[in-house]
Amino acid sequence: MEKNKIEKNTVQETLIVPLYGRKMCSEKFPELYTDVFAERLCNRLDYDFSELEKKKNSFLYQFGALEAAMRQLDMIWEIKEYLKKHPKATIVNLGCGLDETGKACDNGLCNIVNVDFPDVISVRNQLISEQNREKNIACDLKDYSWMEEVDGSNGVIFFAAGVFHYFKKEEVKLLVLELSKRYSGGCLVFDSVGKMGLKLMMKKILKNMDIDDVGGYFYVNNPREDLNWSEKINVNSKGYMLGYYDMKSPGVNFLHRLLANAGDKVMKMSINRMDFE
């Protein structure tokens, strides 16, 4: 089988790192998490994984991979819950990258939409084939024209994993209010961190962008208060690392769980669900 070549310092490479993290997590903690799509895709890539391989036994790298895995498991849990009541709903992956969460939730009736920047969708189209009832939309999330292509008539659940940290607070609010206006009966699920968590997480990124303060960026210290944007939106929130699963699984040690608890309580890492009336 011919492999797809991934060059260094390209858009493709930035998408490979989280993909590899999910693959590694599947190998390291198989009883907690599996991602057959990540493993399958990594096996099809012509890319030097040696630098990532060197890191994979380090405690912090493992925790970072666990973090990505728990976020995806939480999203999957919420999507499947929504599909129980709306089996023909549309699942919309906002800022999809090379993530295939939609396929992991496919019940054979739902539709799947993946939205991301045109250069990202171009890479996705090269590496991942669309299945039946699935389509990719190349668009900036802040350009609401992509919403014209999303059918919410049988229900719709939007999810954004690791995306809104890069938005300004007002941008997230405007996006949520627009979705609530267009998609009555739909819902949005996304992860967030508190201000301290955002400072730690974004430190290197913001430095590269010559930004000193995270003040204008999206963070959530108290979901019920900070996300109280409309009487027509119901907000529920759970801890990101331990809110859905206790992580008591082979390979996940006491220190991993201790750090996970600190992540939820100190860094305010949350999964937020907003239901639109």
Q: What is the pLDDT of residues 32-43, one digit of tens each?
A: 898 999 989 998
**CATH no. for residue 189?**
3.40.50.150
pLDDT tens digits, residue range 43-65? 888 898 888 888 888 888 888 88
User: Could you tell me the pTM of the whole model?
Assistant: 0.93
3-state SS assignment for residue 238 = strand
Domain that holds residue 137: 4-276
- Listed in sequence order, the DSSP H helices in 132-246 are 169-182, 195-208, 223-226
pLDDT one-digit tens code per residue, 128-160? 988 899 999 999 999 999 999 999 999 999 999
Q: How many domains does the chain have?
A: 1
Mean confidence (pLDDT) of the chain = 91
The secondary structure element, H or E, covering residue 63 is: helix 59-85
Q: Per residue in 193-242, pLDDT tens?
A: 998 888 777 665 555 555 556 667 899 999 999 999 999 999 999 999 99
C-alpha–C-alpha distance, residues 75 and 97, integer Å = 15
